Amino acid sequence: MHSLEEEKLADYKRIVDGLPVPEDLLDAAILQGFENGRQEKKRSKQRLRSLFSIAAVAVILICFFASIRLSPAFAGYVSELPGFSKIVDLIQGDKGIIAALESEYDQEIGVSSTKDGVTFTITRAIADETGLLLFYTIDTVTERKELFIQDARLKNTDGKRFTIGSASFGMPHNSTEGEKAFTGTMNFTFQERLEARSFNLIVKIEGKEHEVEFELDKEISSKKEYVLNKTVSIEGQKITFEKVEIYPLRVAIHVKMDPDNTKRILSFDEIRLVDEHGETWNGITNGITASGGVADDKRILYVQSNYFREPRELYLIPGKIQAVDKSEAYLIVDTEKGTILKQPHPGKFSSPKVSNGNELSLRMETEEKFNYIPNGIMRDADGKEVLTGGFTKYELEGYTEFGISIPNLKKYKNPLSLELNFYPAWIKSEEKIRIK
């Protein structure tokens, strides 16, 4: 899209920012534009862009264009990709990935493995120094109502540096009516700068292992680094923003908490980047959001990338931060008596009870929706770590119920202490910290 058109859309965005957006109608309008483009994909790329410009204008005219999430150029581009409509669903909330695709920073892969009527294909890849994002499709001969990747192992085949920090395969694919084609993403992050370029990927689907090999042919862009060393006081808690590293897939914000703080900083819920026009890059919603434990003084936070944008000004805004007094950063429960002995202020947990011999459940009262599970290390009265089988969360009317599976619960001495990684208590700051 021409720069003049982009500026006009940007100006319009700033005018209508804040208007309520009917998301279902917006998505329907966009996807209809995609479908029109797919039917005419044999036409020239310029024709595709024109079609989607018209679709975008239609959306603008009905005041649904509250953010430039999917530009006409991007719509035309993804219309040519396998499973394009589902790709849009996967990435439309991440401006960084959208910008990488718009800039054609991704590369086509197109390697497949077929076993017992199931074909797994890596279609495209986006890589930077910190991570690798793979787009995949799964095609089946017969319809499936549920299909998911059970395991994934990524190895380098060229002997170059390669250290995985985390891996995610996406959510299970579900279809009420049954489908034969599924689309998803796999996200790998690395502990050190990625140097490997050739890979072997093994995925397990319905008990069968599919093995594919692929190479990254495109050059990986180097990070942009800004040293800040800016300390801010947020409701009496000192936090130093040391530096910001901007990569194509994500932005890494290095923070340091003052050891003399009275509160333990749990989670930066609304940390974001904003430019001089007010365009915002929020936290990552599908992938790793931070590295470093809540007890660490140093942490790295990740937000969406603005790598392919060059704003004249760029700021960091801390936003809402979960924080509790260090002396209250635990939930202590007597599972035999069904009582809570200690929890952060204000007390949100209530009604502890054990069912089926090893299931501890608690209620949490919250004034607003809380999208976190207050998981953490659990220990018994002797300091022995309690092995848990997992955490569950149920949204009920007026409260949320959390469940903790504790196999062999009776062998642990009461009371049990759970270190909280999340809790609905916040400090806030909308201070703008200048990056550039």
- Give yes or no: residues 196 and 76 share one domain: no
pLDDT in tens, 313-349: 999 999 999 999 999 999 999 999 999 999 998 899 9
**Residue 61, pLDDT score:** 29
Q: Residue 296: what are its φ and ψ, rounded to 5°?
A: -85, 145
430 plus 299 within the same structural domain? yes
pLDDT band at 284 (very low <50, low <70, confident <90, very high): confident
pLDDT, residue 292, reads 75
Q: For residue 98, is it within any domain?
A: no
Predicted confidence at residue 89, as pLDDT, reads 61
Whether 340 is in a domain gets the answer yes
- C-alpha closest to that of 230 among 220, 239, 218, 219: 239
Domain identity same for 341 and 281: no
For residue range 248-281, list pLDDT tens digits in order: 999 999 999 999 999 999 999 999 999 999 999 9
The CATH number of whichever domain residue 309 belongs to comes to 2.60.40.1640
Name the least confident of 198-202, 207-211, 286-290: 286-290
Global model pTM greater than 0.75: yes
Check whether residue 169 and residue 42 sit in a common domain. Answer: no
The answer on 29 and 6 residing in a single domain is yes
343 to each of 75, 166, 328, 391, 400, how far by Cα in Å?
49, 31, 6, 18, 16
Residue 213 predicted with pLDDT over 70:
yes
CB 239 within 8 Å of CB 257: yes
For residue 67, being part of any structural domain is answered with yes
53-86 pLDDT, tens digit each: 333 333 332 233 333 344 555 555 555 555 555 5
Distance between CA atoms of residues 254 and 316, nearest Å = 12
174 lies in a domain? yes
Pick the last residue of a domain from 64, 80, 96: 80
- pLDDT cut 90: percent of the chain above it: 59
Return the structure tokens found at 369.
Answer: 């929706």
Q: For 280-289, what is the mean pLDDT? A: 81
Same domain for 430 and 283: yes
Residue 17 lies in a domain: yes
* Gap between the Cα atoms of 166 and 76, Å rounded: 32
Q: Is the peptide bond before 259 cis (omega within 30 degrees of 0)?
A: no
Better-scored residue on pLDDT, 378 or 34: 378
Q: Is 220 helix (H, G, I), strand (E, B) or coil?
A: coil
Shared-domain flag, residues 113 and 209: yes
- Domain carrying residue 159: 106-221
Per-residue pLDDT band at 49 (split at 50, 70, 90): very low
CA distance 304 to 307: 9
- Residue bearing the bigger pLDDT, 293 or 37: 293
Q: Which of 189, 221, 253 is the last residue of a domain?
A: 221
At 114 the pLDDT is: 97
Number of domains in the chain: 4
Based on the fold, state whether residues 140 and 21 are members of the same structural domain: no
- Model confidence pLDDT, tens digit, residues 155-170: 999 988 888 888 888 7
Strand 298-303 with 314-317, pairing: unpaired
pLDDT of residue 348: 92
| Between 291 and 38, the higher pLDDT residue | 291
385 shares a domain with 358 = yes
Residue 166: give its domain's CATH number: 2.60.40.1630
Asked if 293 and 347 sit in the same domain, the reply is: no
Q: 305 and 230, same structural domain?
A: yes
Q: What is the per-residue pLDDT for 90?
A: 61
Residue whose pair of structure tokens reads 């029109």 in the numeric block: 36
| Residues 202, 261 share a domain | no
Domain boundary among 196, 221, 246: 221
Please say if the pLDDT value at position 216 is more than 70.
yes
- HEC sequence for 72-131: HHHHHHHCCCCCHHHHHHHHCCCHHHHHHHHCCCCEEEEEEEEECCEEEEEEEEEECCCE
